[in-house]
Amino acid sequence: MEKETVESPGSLSLADFELTIQQSEEIIGPLTALGRNGANNTFTLLYDDVPQNLAVLATYDGDAPPARDGHTIICTGDCLVESAPAKVVAYRHT
């Protein structure tokens, strides 16, 4: 299936970055990757059916994101939150 990578400002708060991704998931399809390109964040979406539960973002420290009850990890990425480097994880409620 075809994918699309979208950029969003790295100056966004985590809540606004999450909302941007969720709105894109409702139009294009599920999130598959997170990343960073200079001062912007990137996220990749799969052209497919809209997921039943939209992605939820969190920041984390360490090598691996924590498990979250009732959720699966979609992806992780080195991103920007309010212009500061942050490790971000995307979860989806199962």
- Give per-residue burial for 46-81: e unless 16+ CB within 10 Å, then b: beeeebeebbbbbeeeeeebeeeeebeebbbbebbb
Region 63-89 average pLDDT: 97
pLDDT band per the 50, 70, 90 thresholds, residue 1: confident
Handedness of CA 11, 16, 18, 24 (dihedral sign): negative
pLDDT at 56 over 90: yes
pLDDT at 38 over 90: yes
pLDDT in tens, 8-35: 999 999 999 999 999 999 999 999 999 9
Domain limits, the chain: 3-93
* pTM of the full structure: 0.96
